[in-house]
Chains A and B, each alone.
Chain A
């Protein structure tokens, strides 16, 4: 079945540091890939998405590229801020159907 594996956290960075959160997936066919962010005490918000190989999703300075050859969708940001502290979830939606499969989530803590 479909599955998503994320790097374990928490990830602790200083402000303005470079961020990478690794995400790899297993799926049949060609899934759509997503990054969601959850700020403390809130629900999940869609951060970015990519629907086919080599697509790059981007939003709020975050980027992720859909790499079919390595089955990866790593999240990157060039310069993190304290306000980026949150839990980040990688997810996939299979080729057919609307159901999402989530990774375990990665806690990001940014220090000033």
Chain B
């Protein structure tokens, strides 16, 4: 298995609170991604990174921000969580032109 961990694995939070999810890799891959998984939508890309301090938006980036200060860590922040952000969040990593490897996921519930 690719060395990808996500923390926390489960979180319940209240509407309006900030939340940060962490993705950590031990593979030294250049690319990292954050997806959300919702029934009927498959996985949708939120943000991705193509290097330290280099990030870009995906198709569902509104309400989310990311940071990557080290190769191994990619953080996803919900500045003010809303109920529509209740989802399962997956991190993925890849080398250039190679397949993506996924972490175990974080289940986030916003009440």
Chain A residues at the B interface, C-beta cutoff of 8 Å: 4, 34, 36, 42-46, 49, 89, 98-100, 102-105
Contacts and interface: CB of A to CB of B under 8 A. Distances in A.
Nearest to A104: B42
A79 to B, nearest CB: 26
Classify chain B's interface size.
20 to 34
B99 interface: yes
Given A98-B94, A98-B96, A99-B48, A42 B42 contact: no
Nearest to A36: B102
Interface of B: 4, 31, 33, 40-45, 48, 50, 58, 90, 92, 94, 96-97, 99-105
Contact of B31 (A89, A98, A104): A98
B96 to A, nearest CB: 7
B104 A34 contact: no
A2 to B, nearest CB: 11
Given A43-B104, A102-B43, A103-B42, A34 B99 contact: yes
Residue in B41, B42, B99, B102 with the greatest tally of chain A CB atoms within 10 Å: B42
Given A89-B43, A99-B33, A99-B45, 11 more contacts: A34-B99, A36-B102, A43-B103, A43-B105, A44-B92, A45-B102, A98-B97, A99-B48, A100-B100, A102-B44, A104-B42
